[in-house]
Amino acid sequence: MSTLLGIHDVLSSFPLFSGRDSALPTTPPFTVEIVGRERGPIRLANGLTLEARRGISEIRKSDIVIAPSMIVAEAGWRTGRYPELVDWVARMHAQGALLCSACSGVFLLAETGAFDGHPTTVHWGYAEHFAKAFPAVPLQPERVLVTAGERDRLVSSGASTSWHDLVLYLIVRYVGATAAQSIARFFALQWHHEGLAPYIMFEGRQNHGDAAVADAQAWLTRHFSVAAPVEEMVKRSGLAERTFKRRFTQATGCTPIDYVQRLRVEDAKRRLERTEAPVDEISWRVGYEDPAFFRRLFKRLTGLAPGAYRRRFQVPAYAQSPGRRKRGA
């Protein structure tokens, strides 16, 4: 519901500022409607009900179509469940409408075929499902916002609150940058300048069926900080080095050294979030004797320097319990 009503509220908010903010137009630039397959109540994933004032059959033309986020079951996205919606979206796009998705809304939009061959983004937790359902669509889940297609009429935003970036992008595009800055200040909306890489948790692919690689992965989760972990995995596997590395890369999608680095950085992220340990100490604990190398690697994989990551994700003092604040003082 947050992506649906958040976008609706912000794009509908312009009349609230009429005459009070010179950066904003006096005439509302957007007319926003929530529509469904048919008019009437829509039960959402959180159990609440929302009213669709009109059904899609009543909408002959639209400049913008936004698909909010949806829950995708563990079994993945099943195409063909909403043929009327897909046909309507395709028809709106053929008439010139911008197609926009918030998070997993792109699953529905992708059924039109409009995104085939064009890059898009989606919540990283759904990336594998999306890739299986729509192999013709290049996926970039680390990106916050992707615009593609003829005249940039395909717009997708990534994980959850990156709807902030989507709604601000639409205001920049149709109203102007100054208006977007004004709206962002009022609602405390944020552009995710660093992308979504800082938020993504690395989870190595497990369901590949290669027992030797699975054993190496299990060992690595407990011993990633040891010296020369790749050589140790090769030795434990009993395979030739080239064979092991080839099979590991094929099974996990990562080279062995890249897999090690991602596990080390993931552990470093938790230490930065939950402790006050110096960065140099964290570097040593996850397996790097050269703190400068660790800092470069951390920024390459997350988009943030370790110190900036800690400031972004550590629980702030005002949100901690009084006892914990006192102990930390």
Domain co-membership, 171 together with 240: no
Mark which of 141, 172, 199 sits at the end of a domain: 199
Summarize the confidence of residues 72-97 as an average pLDDT. Answer: 94
Mark which of 139, 164, 199 sits at the end of a domain: 199
Q: What is the per-residue pLDDT for 322?
A: 67
Query: pLDDT, tens digit, for every residue of 235-288?
Result: 999 999 999 999 999 999 999 999 999 999 999 999 999 999 999 999 999 999
CA dihedral (67, 71, 77, 78) in degrees, to 10, reads -90
Q: Does residue 318 form part of some domain?
A: no
Domain of 33 in residue numbering reads as 2-199
Domain co-membership, 223 together with 162: no
Q: Does residue 205 form part of some domain?
A: no
Q: Does residue 294 form part of some domain?
A: yes
Q: Is the pLDDT of residue 329 over 50?
A: no
| Strand spans (E) along the chain | 35-36, 40-43, 49-52, 54-55, 64-67, 98-102, 145-148, 154-157
CB neighbourhood size of 282 (10 A):
23
Q: What is the per-residue pLDDT for 134?
A: 97
Q: What is the per-residue pLDDT for 208?
A: 92
SS3 270: helix
Q: Does residue 258 form part of some domain?
A: yes
Tell me the CATH number at 143.
Answer: 3.40.50.880
Q: Which of 197-206, 211-220, 284-293, 315-324 has the lowest mean pLDDT?
A: 315-324
Query: pLDDT, tens digit, for every residue of 4-60?
Result: 999 999 999 999 887 788 888 889 999 999 999 999 999 998 899 999 999 999 999
Domain co-membership, 135 together with 227: no
Average pLDDT over the chain, rounded to whole? Answer: 93
Q: Whose structure tokens read 């030739």?
A: 240
Domain co-membership, 73 together with 112: yes
Domain count, the chain: 2
Q: What is the per-residue pLDDT for 36?
A: 93
Q: What is the DSSP letter of 303?
A: S
Sign of the C-alpha dihedral computed for residues 230, 235, 236 and 238 taken in this order = positive
Q: Is the pLDDT of residue 323 over 80?
A: no
Q: Which of 32-46, 97-111, 156-170, 311-325 has the lowest mean pLDDT?
A: 311-325
Q: What is the per-residue pLDDT for 165?
A: 96
Q: How many residues does the chain have?
A: 329
Q: How far apart are CA 272 and CA 266, in angstroms?
A: 10
Domain co-membership, 100 together with 153: yes
Q: Which of 175-179, 199-203, 251-255 has the lowest mean pLDDT?
A: 199-203
Tell me the CATH number at 307.
Answer: 1.10.10.60
Q: Does residue 329 form part of some domain?
A: no
Domain co-membership, 187 together with 222: no
